[in-house]
């Protein structure tokens, strides 16, 4: 890894740090590419249980893509397409990771950073955090995949409001619109993210994976799965044949904590 993307391990919990604080952690093409590579590697490591994604310093999670480099990196349609392919791989690496991902947001969360946070399973922020997608002021539309990810959280009316007004709003509004799961004091963002990751890490990783998959299926079908549909799908019952399920039962019977191994 370069110094722009830092990976820190603490047992089963991994922190991925966007490390360009002098530019509010704005992501350039190489950072997007490295973030995609990092997510791919972490997803393949079965010893991890949760990932925390955050920005270096206290001023920004990330201000999004680095606009100062747009002329060099996205100066024409061909460059823009190549750039977006790299960016979308990184966003998918967060969204589709084998491990739950928490976005720990301090300070600014703008543009592509807003979309990056939307890809996480949970989003925590400080009271002083600020959000927005001011791309219309650049004459630049947000790509449809990013719009879709955010719109699933906030709804189409709020999505249009965010894009059309292009204003910066606070953490209280982000919480009300459903983008943020939890707001804490600014100095508690990191500790709350770690505590949340620890609560996730003690759960069965296969069950976390199934739950995330189920929710995505329900979103894609507008929740139209019926009880008879579930009963007909044998794949929905594979967890009854896992070591973790048997371990959970034994631990319950013996009144001890479960030790899950992800198999």
- Specify the DSSP element, H or E, that contains 66: none
Inter-residue contact 53 to 91 (CB < 8 Å): no
Identify which has the larger pLDDT, 43 or 222.
Answer: 43
Q: Which fold has domain 5-201?
A: 2-enoyl-CoA Hydratase; Chain A, domain 1 (3.90.226)
Average pLDDT of 90-103?
Answer: 97
Q: How many CB atoms lie within 10 A of CB 172?
A: 12
Domain positions in the chain are 5-201, 205-253
Average pLDDT of 47-73?
Answer: 93
Inter-residue contact 107 to 190 (CB < 8 Å): no
Partner residues linked to 125 by β-bridges = 105, 183
**110, exposed or middle or buried, with CB in 10 Å at 0-12, 13-18, 19+?**
buried
Kindly report, residue by residue over 154-200, the tens digit of the pLDDT. 999 999 999 999 999 999 999 999 999 999 999 999 999 999 999 99
Q: How many CB atoms lie within 10 A of CB 101?
A: 26
Inter-residue contact 24 to 108 (CB < 8 Å): yes
Q: pTM value?
A: 0.90
Given a cut of 70, whether residue 228 has pLDDT beyond it is no
Residue 196's contacts (CB-CB under 8 Å, 6 or more residues apart) are 102, 122, 124, 182
Q: What is the pLDDT of residue 2?
A: 59
């Amino acid at each position: 890894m370069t110094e722009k993307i830092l990976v820190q391990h603490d047992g089963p919990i991994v922190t991925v740090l966007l490390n360009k604080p002098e530019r509010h952690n704005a992501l350039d093409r190489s950072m997007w590419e490295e973030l995609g590579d990092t997510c791919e590697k972490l997803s393949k490591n079965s010893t991890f249980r949760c990932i925390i994604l955050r920005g270096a310093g206290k001023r920004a999670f990330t201000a999004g893509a680095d606009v100062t480099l747009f002329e060099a990196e996205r100066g024409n349609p061909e460059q823009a397409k190549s750039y977006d392919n790299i960016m979308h791989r990184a966003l998918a690496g967060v969204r589709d990771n084998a491990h739950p991902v928490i976005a720990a947001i301090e300070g600014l969360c703008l543009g592509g950073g807003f979309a990056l946070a939307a890809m996480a399973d949970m989003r925590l922020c400080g009271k002083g955090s600020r959000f927005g997608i001011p791309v219309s002021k650049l004459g630049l539309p947000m790509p449809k995949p990013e719009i879709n990810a955010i719109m699933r959280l906030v709804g189409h009316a709020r999505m249009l409001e965010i894009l059309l007004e292009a204003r910066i709003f606070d953490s209280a509004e982000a919480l009300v619109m459903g983008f943020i799961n939890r707001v804490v004091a600014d100095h508690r963002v990191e500790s709350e993210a770690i505590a949340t990751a620890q609560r996730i890490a003690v759960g069965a990783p296969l069950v976390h994976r199934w739950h995330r998959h189920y929710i995505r299926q329900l979103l894609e079908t507008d929740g139209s799965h019926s009880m008879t549909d579930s009963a007909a799908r044998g794949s929905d019952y594979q967890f009854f044949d896992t070591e973790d399920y048997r371990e959970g039962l034994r631990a319950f019977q013996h009144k001890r904590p479960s030790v899950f191994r992800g198999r």
